Amino acid sequence: MPTMETTASLPREKGSGIRWKRVVLAAFLSEAGVIMVLLAVTTIYGFAIAPGRTDAEYQEFAEMAGYYVAPATGALMTFLSVLWVAMKLESNFIANGVLVGVVSVLLTVGFLFGARPEHRMMYVIAYILRIAAGYLGGFVAQKRSTHA
């Protein structure tokens, strides 16, 4: 008669599962990366490309930069953050990656409601890009893993 094994006696796979602390930290870091890139773009514009403009002109440029730069930067930062999350994983690469994208969207979803109506579609596109970048980061990490 076969014996029942308890879960305590089963070997645990080291480094598997969802790494929630890293997922949340990676989402925060991806958003911080977007802010840093936007600050760099607007600072370079103000000091090197177009010094001496009015505050209204700088504000207009900052809005335009945010509109065009933030979605791509958010996707790139999410992708890079997922690679960091997945460094010591042995499984669940894509799940961890998608969760980084979802958490980063949840951190910024409030901006959608405060945005101008004509900008809301770009926010939706940016959110889709972040989740897709999370998936892609997980997929790349899985392919790079020697354990997968």
pLDDT of residue 147: 54
pLDDT tens digits for range 65-97: 999 999 999 999 999 999 999 998 889 999 999
Q: Which residues of the chain have pLDDT under 70?
A: 1-16, 146-148
pLDDT of residue 16: 52
CB 97 within 8 Å of CB 139: yes
Among residues 33, 18, 20, 30, the alpha carbon closest in space to that of 104 is found at 30
pLDDT of residue 88: 83
Question: What span, in angstroms and rounded, lies between the C-alpha atoms of 138 and 127?
Answer: 17
pLDDT of residue 12: 42
pLDDT of residue 140: 97
